[in-house]
Structures are given as C-alpha cells and as structure tokens.
Amino acid sequence: QKEVEQNSGPLSVPEGAIASLNCTYSDRGSQSFFWYRQYSGKSPELIMFIYSNGDKEDGRFTAQLNKASQYVSLLIRDSQPSDSATYLCAVNSGNTGKLIFGQGTTLQVKP
C-alpha cells in the first residue's frame, strides 16, 4: 500500500515566523509532489509542486524535496493568520494521473 504520511498537528506558530510542514512517502518511483492548502469548509487548492531534488521557491512558500530520504517539505516564511489552514501533501501514483494524499497538517498562525 503506497502511503503518504504527515503529522496531523495542529502546528501553531506566531505571526511572522517560519512554518515548516513535513511529509514522507513510501513509493520510491514517485516523481511529482504537490502541496495543497485547504481552508475549513472549502476544497483544496494547489499552492506548490516540485519534481526535482532541492528547493523551489514561490513568494513566501518554499518546497523542498529529497528523493533519497523520500521526504518533501513546505516552508512558509513570514506566516500570516490567513495562512491558517490544513495543508495536504500529495504524491503521484505510478505512471497515472492519480495522486496519493496525506491526511494533512493543520497550521494555526497566531497574531
């Protein structure tokens, strides 16, 4: 059973701090990695994707991938209360368009 693991949290950080969200996956063949943000009562929205080892930055968000360790993370710099949400890690399943999702980490940013 291919799995994606995340700490459910909640992860609580003060406003302006760096939030670090982590995810591990079991399928060594995975090649595409995604981070979705989901506000309470809303559907998930894609905020970052990464395919290669290393870092990828987009504004306040940085995705980090280490395929050898089967580890992907999301850093949110200068965290804002509006970043408070559940963050879902997703990994592609084989050579299909299907994604495997983690359970999500709830982030709380306190003013």
Partner 1 sequence: DVKVTQSSRYLVKRTGEKVFLECVQDMDHENMFWYRQDPGLGLRLIYFSYDVKMKEKGDIPEGYSVSREKKERFSLILESASTNQTSMYLCASSHGDRVFGYTFGSGTRLTVV
Q: Of the candidates 12, 26, 31, 80, which one interacts with partner 1 according to CB under 8 A?
A: 31
Identity at 39, one-letter amino acid code: Y
Q: Of the candidates 104, 105, 107, 109, which one interacts with partner 1 according to CB under 8 A?
A: 104
Structure token pair of residue 109:
């940013």
Stretch that binds partner 1, among 11-19, 46-54, 56-64, 65-73 (CB under 8 A): 46-54
Structure token pair of residue 50:
């990464």
What region, left, alpha or beta, does residue 109 occupy, with left being phi > 0 and alpha being psi -120 to 50 degrees? beta
Give the C-alpha separation, 35 to 51, whole Å. Answer: 12
46 binds partner 1 (CB under 8 A): yes
Q: What single-letter DSSP state applies at residue 82?
A: G
48-62 burial: b if 16+ Cβ within 10 Å, else e: bebeeeeeeeeeebb
Q: How far is the CB of 108 from partner 1 (least distance, A)?
A: 17
Q: How far is the CB of 97 from partner 1 (least distance, A)?
A: 4
**Site for partner 1 (CB under 8 A): how many residues?**
22
By the criterion CB under 8 A, which residues form the site for partner 1? 31-32, 34, 42-46, 49, 51, 88, 90, 92, 95-99, 101-104
